[in-house]
Amino acid sequence: MDYSKVLSKTIVDTEKSGIRKFFDIMETMDDVVGLTVGQPDFVTPWHIREAGIESLEKGKTYYTSNAGTLELRIEIDKYLTRRFGVSYSPEKEIIVTVGGSEAIDIAVRSIIEAGDEVIIPTPSFVCYAPITRMAGGVPVIIETSVKDKFKLTPEALKAAITPRTKMLVLPYPNNPTGAIMTREELKDIAEVLKDTNIVVLSDEIYAEMTYGHEHCSIASIEGMKERTIIASGFSKAYAMTGWRLGYLCAPAVMIEQMLKIHQYCIMSSPTTSQFAAIEALKNGDDDVKMMVEEYNRRRRYIYNGLKGIGIDSFEPEGAFYIFPNIGQFGLSSDDFCSRLLYDYKCAIVPGNAFGAGGEGFARISYAYSIKHITLALERIEKFVKTL
Amino acid sequence: MKNELLKLLETDARYTPEQLSVMLDIPLETVISYIDELEKNGTILGYKTVIDWEKTNRESVTAMIDVKLTPQRGKGYDRVAEKIYNYPEVQSVYLMSGAYDLSVLIEGKTMKEVAFFVSQKLAPIDEVISTTTHFVLHKYKDTGVLYDAVLDIDERGNCN
């Protein structure tokens, strides 16, 4: 059989994620101290797990309605109103998805057709460009820079817009840089977008993890809700990555179309997870606060620790990553990270895995205990002393 | 801020003042002076290590004893509590509401040793009306620490 004639060319041409390559090497080695994981080290709080277990004990093992249980959608609306001042109709403007990833996928697929351009600020999470291409769209990359604190500027946005622009991905708080966008900065972005037909896909999965500034959703800025899709979920805020649960909020006319994709390819999101998520939203605020306080302590610890060994970083204001500038050592991101891994058994992710603009940087996750971070910093210090 | 400092030290007494200063975002001198003050005024009473003795070859048994008392005029339970807590084998003494008055945690090498303590030292105290001894069979969790947790295995997948 000639598989080259069988497999979809679009998929074959889709590059394997740069992070994946690095993880594959790492997993073949022993005694590696890694700071690579992009998920919380906390276990889902017990009362949330218990709600999932209780739903199983009561035999709630059916599909829910396609958009998710109404009770959960009501809680999502209450949560977004309480935390970020944006409200969505539980009946018509919310879909419960399989993680934030599905939310991003169906948002793109419901908007993008062959040749449509999607503006993607980078460095950012690895899925936006491949998902755009799979939908037939064309990714238009904006490289944000450390001098702008890795924020999207209105000037860069204006320069990237063409008549074919259909969507702007807004990935803040940002993985991998830890950048955030404040309300004032988002207002400037909104100013560029008003009176256009450009849709904003705002990936707010790290919304709870901000330090110093409260997260601002672009949907809460006047005139933006009608053109904004919020993709978010429970993975990061509630330490629920394995439950695979997220959500999409958007104007009813968009949700109606997105629901068709979700209905045909997913049916409904995991029922057990939906029951756990209701408990998370009803009684989980204190858990989130506790975890965010802990991330904040680690953030300061790793920022100062890197500074102490002569590695400068932009001080992250969101998510749980720091993106130090390693270009000063005269090695490419790949070389720096490979040598650190092979010779000093410490794993961090090369910054170019998140877009070409990440060259010269590396992503370090601080979703680890202080003890683990201390051990990793010792290894990094030994390495940079040889450079 | 002092409470946050105490919470951190309660989870790990080996955090250095330098680490605490960065984690709490307060100057190093402030951390040092807070700790000094909290030690001097008796808020921080000591720094101990949590040990699972079952993993060693040291023999030990722990028992919780419910003690009913007759209070003494003018002194309540304080005097008799003192008589009990002065025995070095006594680990903790709590005054309780409910069916009995004192909860006494005691550690001995063998069950016989604990039984000897109860019959020869505790029960003969004038104010003690009765005792009920419960031996601890296995510790699952103590002062917030899990005893059977497998350490340092990170099962999280690297997927983004």
Whether A94 and A113 have beta carbons less than 8 Å apart is answered as no
Q: Which amino acid is residue A359, in one-letter code?
A: E
Distance from CA of A170 to the nearest CA of B (A): 18
The average pLDDT across A121-148 equals 96
Q: Coil, strand or helix: which one is B65?
A: strand
Give the domain-ending residue among A265, A283, A301. A283
A225 in the same domain as A96: yes
A/B interface, count of CB pairs below 8 Å: 44
- Give strand pairing partners of A231: A203, A248
Instruction: Render B90-147 in DSSP notation, one character per residue.
Output: EEEEEE-SSS-SEEEEEEESSHHHHHHIIIIIITTSTTEEEEEEEE----SEETTEES
Q: What is the pLDDT of residue A14?
A: 87
Rounded distance between C-alpha atoms, residue A156 and residue A158, angstroms: 6
A78 in the same domain as A13: no
- Give strand pairing partners of B108: B61
pLDDT reading at B150 higher than 70: no
* Best CA proximity match to A110, nearest among A228, A248, A258: A258
The average pLDDT across A370-387 equals 96
A224 in the same domain as A313: no
What's the DSSP call for residue B13? Answer: T
pLDDT reading at B159 higher than 90: no
* Best CA proximity match to A218, nearest among A276, A148, A168, A260: A168
Q: Which of A19-23, A134-138, A241-245 has the lowest mean pLDDT?
A: A19-23
A183 in the same domain as A152: yes
A142 in the same domain as A127: yes
Q: What is the pLDDT of residue A107?
A: 98
- Average predicted confidence (pLDDT) for chain A: 96
Q: Which CATH number do you get for residue A159?
A: 3.40.640.10
* Best CA proximity match to A232, nearest among A209, A253, A214: A209
Contact A175 B159 (CB under 8 A): no
- Give strand pairing partners of A120: A141
A291 in the same domain as A247: no
Split at pLDDT 50, 70, 90, the class of A273 is very high
Rounded distance between C-alpha atoms, residue A302 and residue B120, angstroms: 57
Q: What is the pLDDT of residue B151?
A: 63
Cα-based torsion angle of the residue sequence A331, A333, A334, A340 in order, rounded to the nearest 10 degrees: 70
Give the domain-ending residue among A219, A249, A283. A283
CA dist A50 → A42, A58, A237, B76 (Å): 16, 12, 18, 43
Distance from CA of B53 to the nearest CA of A (A): 24
Give tens-digit pLDDT for A1-13.
999 899 999 899 8
Residue A156 C-beta-side C-alpha neighbours within 13 Å: 17
A274 in the same domain as A188: yes
* Best CA proximity match to B65, nearest among B110, B109, B119: B119
Contact A300 B23 (CB under 8 A): yes
The average pLDDT across B6-30 equals 94
The pair of three-digit structure tokens given for residue B107, joined into one six-digit string: 């550690």
The average pLDDT across B25-34 equals 96
Distance from CA of A40 to the nearest CA of B (A): 9
Q: What is the pLDDT of residue B73?
A: 78
* Best CA proximity match to A291, nearest among A223, A343, A367: A367
Helix (H) or strand (E) holding B68: strand B61-69
Give tens-digit pLDDT for A32-78.
999 998 999 999 999 999 999 999 999 999 999 999 999 999 999 99
Q: A301 at the B interface (CB within 8 A)?
A: yes
Rounded distance between C-alpha atoms, residue B72 and residue B129, angstroms: 13
Q: Which CATH number do you get for residue A305?
A: 3.90.1150.10
- pTM of the predicted model, to two decimals? 0.90
Full 3-state SS string of chain A: CCHHHHCCHHHHCCCCCHHHHHHHHHCCCCCCEECCCCCCCCCCCHHHHHHHHHHHHCCCCCCCCCCCCHHHHHHHHHHHHHHHCCCCCCCCCEEEECHHHHHHHHHHHHHCCCCCEEEEEECCCCCHHHHHHHCCCEEEEEECCHHHCCCCCHHHHHHHCCCCEEEEEECCCCCCCCCCCCHHHHHHHHHHHCCCCCEEEEECCCCCCECCCCCCCHHHCCCCHHHEEEEEECCCCCCCHHHCCEEEECCHHHHHHHHHHHHHHCCCCCHHHHHHHHHHHHHCHHHHHHHHHHHHHHHHHHHHHHHHCCCCECCCCECCEECEECHHHCCCHHHHHHHHHHHHCEECEEHHHHCHHHCCEEEEECCCCHHHHHHHHHHHHHHHHCC
Q: At what angle do helices B2-11 and B28-40 cross, to 10 degrees?
A: 80
* Number of residues that this document lists for chain B: 160
- Average predicted confidence (pLDDT) for chain B: 91
Split at pLDDT 50, 70, 90, the class of B152 is low
A72 in the same domain as A13: no
The average pLDDT across B22-50 equals 95
The beta-carbon neighbor of A37 closest among B12, B24, B156 is B156
Whether B135 and B113 have beta carbons less than 8 Å apart is answered as no
pLDDT reading at A297 higher than 70: yes
Give the domain-ending residue among A283, A305, A323. A283
pLDDT reading at A19 higher than 80: no
Q: What is the pLDDT of residue B160?
A: 63
A292 in the same domain as A273: no
Q: What is the pLDDT of residue B113?
A: 94
Give tens-digit pLDDT for B120-134.
999 999 999 999 999
The average pLDDT across A352-362 equals 95
Rounded distance between C-alpha atoms, residue B39 and residue A222, angstroms: 54
The average pLDDT across B12-21 equals 94
Q: What is the pLDDT of residue A41?
A: 93
Q: A366 at the B interface (CB within 8 A)?
A: no
Find the farthest-apart pair of alpha carbons in chain B and give their distance in angstroms, rounded.
Answer: 69
A257 in the same domain as A158: yes
Percent of all residues in chain B with a pLDDT value above 70, rounded to a whole number: 98
Domain with A335, as residue range(s), is 3-44+286-385
Rounded distance between C-alpha atoms, residue A227 and residue A196, angstroms: 9
A60 in the same domain as A175: yes
Contact B23 A19 (CB under 8 A): no
- Number of domains into which chain A is organized: 2
The average pLDDT across A293-301 equals 96
A240 in the same domain as A296: no
Give tens-digit pLDDT for A167-184.
999 999 999 999 999 999
Split at pLDDT 50, 70, 90, the class of A21 is confident
Contact A301 B19 (CB under 8 A): yes
Pick from A295, A304, A306, A315 the residue to mutate for testing the B interface (most B CBs within 10 Å). A304
The average pLDDT across A353-377 equals 95
pLDDT reading at A15 higher than 90: no
Split at pLDDT 50, 70, 90, the class of B99 is very high
